[in-house]
Amino acid sequence: MNTSTTAAIIAATNATTTAVNAAIASATAAANGHDGDPNAETPQAERAEPADDIAGLAPTLERLRAAWRAKKPDYAQRMDDLARLKAAFKARMREMEAAVRADFGHRSEHETLIADGMTVVAEIDHLRKHLRGWMRPKRASVGWRLWPARAQVRREAVGVVGVLSPWNYPVNLALIPLATAIAAGNHVFLKPSEHTPRTSAWLQALLADVFPADRVAVALGGPALASAFAGLPLDHLVFTGSTAVGRKVMAAAAPNLTPLTLELGGKSPAIVAPDFPIEQAAARLASGKWFNGGQTCIAPDYILIDAARRDAFVDALRAQVHARYGADMRGASDYTRVVNEGQYRRLRGYLDDARERGLQVIALADVDETRADAERLLPPTLILQPGDDAKAMQDEIFGPILPILGYGSLDEAMAYVETHERPLALYPFSRDRATVERILSRLIAGGVTVNDTLLHFAANELPFGGIGPSGMGQYHGRAGFDAFTKAMPVLWQARMNATDLIKPPYRGKIDRLVRWLVG
């Protein structure tokens, strides 16, 4: 890449950075003042970091792209890269767990191993198992009008894929898109979250040991660097985070027409039908909601249950919390804390708002307030029957707070979901197949797990992605390979063909041939 191209990249980056920084800064201020975005960036005052190397972004992208053009990764290199990544990752998993736990203040070791360990290993295994078949060109029909030409569709890597990853699953949501982009034959530029600085540093060290600097690069920094990163002329950009910041990322990418995969959030509902057992529903919803302290983009955000059983459902949830974490949570080593003070204040603000509105707020475990504030330990807490005006119903909660709404009929419950923004996940609970089909045929969501929660994310063959405000595009498995490659159609013309005859003047036999082709 020559000097003029580098200058163009830097100019493009600088042109978008100022406006997008201001937009993200606005989202940041809102989020840390109890309102809005659960994935907004950390205020500068809460971070002690060196100045972000924004000027180094464009030269790094240039280095990655030049190396990719010089030697595009073939099947052997991709397989070797994935194998080395898996081996290094497994060897450093204990370091990973310690870094994540330190970033959260406290995070369940087993939840880290499941969500940030198992998922990454499983995805790499899936990519390696299927890669040869995915790379193979697929024959395509040309139809009788173009016969005897032949055609195929080839999956070609796009170049350099950028990954903007979040803090809630800081390893999973960085390495799965990265590994998928590598499998697709690309080089990768990763910007992990500054909310989890120890984990981000661990990722940088891991990847530096596995990949050459011109194949995978990592940029560390805060909101200004993230904004500049989104404004780079990447060949594809993956962003995982909130809807509010997703809009800013899309605006930053627009001047370069950068293709986007946006994995956003939203308010994912669970609908418990009257036929489904309360105790089982409570157990499975408790697992999905309070895994990682509720800091999961596909966690159930609110529950719709038949009104006659609402109070019994509350009791069943309380029993689940006591059995898992204790009535006072003194031994709650398996309960993850809120990641930072800004997020803790935001969540406490939802509860304060609910109480001011006269809503019933039920903490399912008794925690000393001094301890709670010191540890950012917010116990599983319910809000009963909140209206749409409650702050907890206006934003993605992204924490251990769970609104419960009783409904009069299943149609009423579906109408409620239908009149709100399309969610990232939907969780129907019913033993009756016809009831489940009624829900699935009426409601649209990014993904669905029936009679459980979260598990569709872990199924490698299922594409993961949102719809509308909950995202665009999808990845995981084949869907990710397709997202990070170009389906390039190729047609080979035969030596003898009719098209050599179809040219002016269109008279006589040629006129009759054209009219015959039109049919």
Q: How far is Cα of residue 20 from the mean position of the Cα atoms in its chain?
A: 21
Dist CA 465 CA 513 (whole Å): 48
Q: What is the pTM of this model?
A: 0.89
Residue-level pLDDT at 358: 98
Catalytic residue among 109, 263, 279, 437: 263
Domain ranges (residues) in the chain: 3-265+473-487, 269-465
Task: Tell me the one-letter amino acid at 85.
Answer: L
First to last CA, the chain: 50
Residue 145 to residues 142, 255, 494, 498, 519, Cα–Cα distance (Å): 8, 40, 13, 9, 10
- Taking a C-beta distance cutoff of 8 angstroms, is the pair 403, 300 a contact? no
- The pLDDT value recorded for residue 497 is 84
pLDDT at 39: 53
Give the model's pLDDT for residue 330.
84
Question: What phi and psi, each to the nearest 5 degrees, are found at residue 329?
Answer: 60, 25
Ranges of H-type helices in 295-390: 310-325, 341-356, 369-375
Give the pLDDT score at 50. 57
Structural element, H or E, at residue 191: strand 187-191
Model confidence pLDDT, tens digit, residues 83-115: 999 999 999 999 999 999 999 999 999 999 999
Instruction: Look at the block and give the residue holding tokens 């699935």.
Output: 440
Active site residue 297: yes
Could you confirm whether 412 is annotated as catalytic? no
Q: CA distances (Å), 398 to each of 40, 86, 297, 298, 457, in order?
A: 12, 30, 7, 9, 17
The low-confidence residues of the chain, meaning pLDDT below 70, are 1-50
Looking at residue 171, its pLDDT comes to 98
Fold of 3-265+473-487: Aldehyde Dehydrogenase; Chain A, domain 1 (3.40.605)
Strand, helix or coil at 296?
A: coil
d(CA 89, CA 183): 16
Contact in structure between 253 and 237 (CB atoms under 8 Å): yes
Tell me, what's the pLDDT at 52? Answer: 86
Q: Which amino acid belongs to residue 175?
A: L
Note whether 114 and 135 are within 8 A (CB): no
Q: Which of 62, 297, 369, 396 is catalytic?
A: 297
CATH of domain 269-465: 3.40.309.10
Beta partners for residue 466, in sequence order? none
- Beta bridge mates, 163: 190, 238
- Give the number of residues written for the chain: 519
